Structure 1
Amino acid sequence: MKTIATCLLAAMLAACAAKQVEPSWRPNATGALDSFSDAYLKGDSAIAAVDFARARREMTGTGRADLVAHAELVRCAVKTASIDGGECEGFAPLARDAGAAHRAYAAFLAGQWQGLDAALLPEQHRPIASGTGSLAGVADPLSRLVAAGAMLQAGRIGPIDIVTATDTASTQGWRRPLLAWLGIAAQRAKAIGDMVELARIERRIALASSR
């Protein structure tokens, strides 16, 4: 499975010469971002914080705002997948020196889709932002959860999408987004007065919360 970190970084560095010797910071940063994502999604906050700091340190060594912005957007994307998003604070100070694609992705994650040029987004998220695709049609599990979180932020989430997001997190064993999406499902069940479904969801929450 290609991670968000790998896909975004590969796109940014596509202009590099094929025969150029790869600098050590690149695999180090990508590996650290992948480790961060895995730890965060599993609910291991302390490990995630260490891994993210390591990735950011590798990228700041280049002095390139676009690369550090990339790291911050990966963090924001993973948090969005876990409904722990909001404003991408780490990206904001870098926005002016980041590229248009970075700014578009930050807007997508924040649910600020009005006037958004979907062509600037990662390929898997373009149909979601343009309204031409479904959440279930996003092949990569993490990208699917990121899209779900962005849809929630934009006010475009539907009942079937909540089920899709919950099932995705459950299948992957990602505790943090699973609990978050079960919480959304519980709110909906309570709102429509489905107490049987609410009780079932609460049992799942209790089980997923145990260690």
Structure 2
Amino acid sequence: MKNLFFSVVVMGLAACSSTPPAPDWQLEAKGSMDRAVAAYLEGNSRVEAAELARARAQLSRTGRADLLGTAELLNCATRVASLVFEPCAAFEALRPDATPAQLAYANYLRGQAQPQDIALLPAPQRALALSAGSGAADPLPRLVAAGVLLQTGQASPAVITQAIDTASAQGWRRPLLAWLGVQARRAELGGDAAEAARLRRRIAITQGSAADAPKVLP
């Protein structure tokens, strides 16, 4: 998670780096965002909400909409990775002051990136967009790319399997459950009852006894 906040959306806090030690607000905001992202992906909504609130408070101290917009886009990216497709409302409130790169990334998260947006995307997303989701990338950008492909009806069985393997390897319960649910429903629609049953058993194991574990639609 060390470089997550800087590499997923290259338009925010990194621009504040300089030779002198980073100010406390920057370190605290980055730490809170890293923890918020991890908590959401792990399925811990309570911790995620608390850490996100701390990050927003630290970033708001700067009076810079671009920094706050970066955090909101990263927050929304975790939703796309977990197949929660909803408007990025907190970012939309900041849209009038957003940078072109932020607007391009927002379009990307909605599955509406235009050709002119691609060059403005962070390097991991740009590479994945140009390769239709293939190629090496860090885990979160890869899951985001897979979510974008699913939104646009372009997620192949290989993309879905790769998303499941990625989430599983990271121990990210929330996106794992979402992607297992997609694969299970496809197996059911394809008439493969044995495979669907196997996937439902895996879903049950993943949910375990965690009270906060996201639920998968039947």
Q: For residues 146-172 of structure 1, what are the alpha-carbon distances to aligned partners after superposition, in whole Å with 9 as ceiling and x for unaligned? A: 111111122221111000001111111
Change (3 A) 1:17 1:109: closer
Mean CA deviation greater in 112-121 or 63-72: 112-121
Deviations, residues 82-112 of structure 1 (Å, cap 9, x unaligned): 1113211110010110101001101101111
Distance (Å, rounded) in 1 between the aligned partners of 2:127 and 2:9 = 21
**Distance apart, 1:24 and its partner CA:** 1.0
Indicate whether 1:127 and 2:127 are aligned: yes
TM-score by length of 2: 0.89
Higher mean C-alpha displacement, 142-151 vs 50-59: 142-151
Check whether the contact 1:186–1:202 (CA below 8 A) recurs between aligned residues: yes
1:126 Cα deviation (Å)?
1.0
In the aligned structure 1, how far is the partner of 2:204 from the partner of 2:21?
A: 50
Equivalent residue letter for 1:161 = V
- Residues 91-102 of structure 1 aligned to structure 2 (within 5 Å): 91-102=91-102
CA 1:17–1:201: 2 relative to 1, 3 Å: closer
- RMSD of the alignment, in Å? 1.8
Q: Distance in 2 between matches of 1:157 and 1:192?
A: 16
Q: Which residue of 2 aligns with 1:203?
A: 201
Relative to structure 1, the CA distance from residue 10 to residue 154 in structure 2 (aligned partners, 3 Å threshold; closer, same or farther) is closer
Q: Structure 1: where are the runs of 5+ without partners? A: none
Summarize deviations over 1:126-163 as a string: whole Å, max 9, x none.
13323xx1534132111111111111122221111000
Check if 1:26 corresponds to 2:26.
Answer: yes
Q: 2:153 aligns with which of 155, 160, 171?
A: 155
Contact 1:81/1:148 (CA < 8 Å) preserved in 2? Answer: yes
Tell me: CA distance 1:153–1:18, structure 2 relative to 1, closer, same or farther (3 Å): same
The one-letter amino acid paired with 2:78 is V
Q: Deviations over 1:8-43 (max 9, x none)?
A: 576535555732442111111010000001111110
Question: Is contact 1:162-1:185 (8 Å) kept?
Answer: yes
Distance in 1 between residues matched to 2:176 and 2:132, nearest whole Å: 20
Name the structure 1 match of 2:141: 143
- Aligned pair count reads 209
The verdict on how the C-alpha distance between 1:9 and 1:183 changes in structure 2, with shifts beyond 3 A counting, is closer
Quote the residue 1:168 is aligned against: 166
Residues 42-81 of structure 1: pairs in structure 2 closer than 5 A: 42-81=42-81
Partner of 1:194: 192
Contact 1:128/1:134 (<8 A) preserved: yes
* Secondary structure at the counterpart of residue 203 of structure 1: helix
Gap regions ≥5 residues in structure 2: 210-218
Identical columns (%) = 47
